[in-house]
Amino acid sequence: MSTPYSPRKGTALGQVRGLGSAKEGAHHWWMQRVTAFGNLFLILWLVISLLRLPGLDYDTVRSWVQSPLVAVPLILIVVNTFSHFRMGLQVVIEDYQHDEARIIALAILHIWTFGAGGLALFSILKIAFTGTPTI
Amino acid sequence: VRRRERDQSLDARKPTTPTVGVIGFVWWLTALATGRESYDWFMNWATWWPFWIVPIGLSLAFFQHMSTGVRHFVLDVGAGYELRTNKRGAVVTMVVAVTLTLAMWGYIAWRTFA
């Protein structure tokens, strides 16, 4: 296992002692809580709404998504839940992957989340902008 | 200094289930945006009975994640660290998750077959 370059000598603890906090340590933790709070309402709304639909066939679901009151929460799910997903998996990777594998895994996670999110956003907007809502 | 490796098999945070959930959500939406044919193809596979383990497993994982998350909020404000209370909280999350999963699929079964 290689030791990262550091101008300071000594143990890992000795190298950082006296530097103070990085001033951003709590941000990731806090955003995880904020997005979790949003998810609590967004995903419960999604589950209950789908259960209340008369069916899950193409026409029913499509006209449902065409309503702004559905398209907007779906967009919020893509932004909020996908952020939560990305942050959560980032922590798992940081806990278990070391060396080069960590960099590659974090890069894959990033393009995967943003790629899937972009695809989902485009799909929602395409449905919402090309049709008349019936609900 | 050699880092002591942690055993991931003991960690409750597993990346597989949320990844399957994201794939299902995005696939469902893109199929819906593509057209009737691709949506019907997706729904036929998604509701095929040998694959029921996927939506049922996803719903159980979601409800467990949700109730554990709410418990986490309580612990984050500094409450519930007495051993007995803490253990009861952990058991409650599992009871809530299983109950909500059974209620949801019971409702779906009643709507579908009754």
Q: ipTM of the predicted structure? A: 0.91
- So what's the pLDDT on residue A23? 82
- So what's the pLDDT on residue A133? 60
The residue among A61 and B113 whose pLDDT is bigger is A61
- Separation of alpha carbons A58 and B64, rounded Å: 30
**Among A74, A121, A94, which Cα is nearest to A32's?**
A94
Question: If pLDDT is split at 50, 70 and 90, which confidence band does B2 have?
Answer: low
- Separation of alpha carbons B38 and A64, rounded Å: 18
- So what's the pLDDT on residue B69? 96
In the predicted model, residues of chain A with pLDDT beneath 70 are 1-8, 132-135
* A:88-117 residues touching chain B, CB 8 A cutoff: 88-89, 91-92, 95-96, 98, 113, 116
Confidence check: pLDDT of B94 > 80: yes
- So what's the pLDDT on residue B114? 82
CB contact under 8 A, A120 and B107: no
- So what's the pLDDT on residue B39? 97
Q: What letter represents residue A42's amino acid?
A: L
Confidence check: pLDDT of B38 > 60: yes
Answer whether B76 touches A (CB < 8 Å).
yes
- So what's the pLDDT on residue A102? 94
Answer whether A26 touches B (CB < 8 Å).
no
- So what's the pLDDT on residue A12? 83
Question: If pLDDT is split at 50, 70 and 90, which confidence band does B85 have?
Answer: very high
B8-15 long-range contacts, Cβ below 8 Å, gap at least 24? B8/A96, B11/A92, B11/A95, B11/A96, B13/A88, B13/A91, B13/A92, B15/A89, B15/A92
Q: Which residue of B has its CA nearest to A77?
A: B25
pLDDT per residue as tens digits for the range B10-32: 888 888 899 999 999 999 999 99
Question: If pLDDT is split at 50, 70 and 90, which confidence band does B67 have?
Answer: very high
Do B25 and A120 touch, CB atoms closer than 8 A? yes
- Separation of alpha carbons B97 and B103, rounded Å: 10
- So what's the pLDDT on residue B8? 79
- So what's the pLDDT on residue A126? 96
- Separation of alpha carbons A126 and A118, rounded Å: 12
Confidence check: pLDDT of B98 > 90: yes
